[in-house]
């Protein structure tokens, strides 16, 4: 499974960079963005698997700053036991570094709620990633975030090692914003 995942990521990167010469993108002030991401995990020889899905919407306050909202689902498939799931609902703030018109890394953070059919708790954490533009309004996203969970805000330090590492691959679309998109010759 690990080899398949690495192959898919490699081909996605190679495919996205093949058409790079004609792409002139990157976020613009006032632009909107929607993104769908996902990840899958299954350890060989185990009866446990995991699926995570994210849907987010964001608005660019400037070419660098993005304010958004993410809804995520993490579902654990467990053979011979009850499956477990947790959803997170969190606003986020990211800063995008314009390396080129095609490669746009970002750093940010989020704070929100994590919940399932039994409990509700708080979550917060850092996030980072890179957006690889394959078209003026379309990009591939490679993202990472760490989710800390807490039941009382004062106990965040005590709970800092009880979290999730979340890696996702996604596709995003942008529209609107100030200034017209231009293609490089």
Measured in degrees and rounded to the nearest 5, phi and psi for residue 5 equal -60, -50
Half-sphere exposure of 176 (CA within 13 A, CB side): 11
Helix (H) or strand (E) run with residue 6 in it: helix 2-18
- 161 against 167, higher pLDDT: 167
Per-residue tokens: 93: 């703030």
pLDDT in tens, 69-112: 999 999 988 888 888 899 999 999 999 999 998 999 999 999 99
pLDDT at res. 21: 46
- What pLDDT was estimated at residue 9? 54
| pLDDT tens readout for residues 33-81 | 999 999 988 777 788 889 999 999 999 999 999 999 999 999 988 888 8
CA dihedral of 1, 162, 147, 132, whole degrees rounded to 10: -40
Mean pLDDT in residue range 141-151: 92
Q: Which two tokens stand for residue 137?
A: 């309004």
164: confidence class by pLDDT, cuts 50, 70, 90? confident
**Could you give all domains of the chain from N- to C-terminal order, each with its CATH number?**
2-175 (2.40.160.20)
Average pLDDT, integer, range 136-165: 79
Question: Is the pLDDT assigned to residue 117 strictly greater than 70?
Answer: yes
With cut-offs at 50, 70 and 90, classify the pLDDT of residue 168: very high
Q: Higher confidence at residue 93 or residue 8? A: 93
pLDDT of residue 184 exceeding 50, the answer is: no
Per-residue pLDDT, 41: 80
For the record, the structure tokens of 24 come out as 């002139």
List the beta strands (DSSP E) in 116-155: 120-135, 138-150
Average pLDDT, the chain: 84
Could you tell me if 82 and 53 are in contact, meaning their C-beta atoms sit under 8 angstroms apart?
Answer: no
pTM: 0.77
């Amino acid at each position: 499974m690990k080899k398949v995942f690495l192959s898919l990521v490699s081909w996605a990167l190679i495919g996205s960079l093949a058409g790079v010469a004609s792409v002139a993108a990157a976020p613009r002030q006032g632009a909107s963005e929607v993104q769908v991401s996902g990840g899958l995990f299954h350890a060989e020889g185990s009866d446990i698997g995991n699926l995570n899905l994210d849907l987010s919407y964001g608005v660019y306050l400037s070419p660098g700053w993005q304010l958004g909202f993410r809804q995520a689902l993490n579902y654990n498939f467990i053979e011979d036991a009850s499956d477990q799931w947790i959803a997170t609902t969190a606003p986020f703030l990211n800063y995008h570094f314009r390396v080129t018109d095609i490669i746009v890394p970002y750093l940010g953070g989020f704070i929100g709620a994590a919940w399932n059919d039994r409990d509700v708790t708080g979550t917060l954490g850092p996030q980072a990633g890179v957006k690889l533009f394959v078209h003026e309004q379309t990009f591939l996203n490679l993202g990472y975030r760490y989710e800390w969970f807490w039941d009382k805000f004062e106990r965040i330090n005590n709970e800092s090692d009880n979290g999730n590492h979340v890696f996702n691959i996604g596709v995003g679309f942008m529209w609107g914003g100030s200034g017209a998109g231009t293609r490089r010759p």
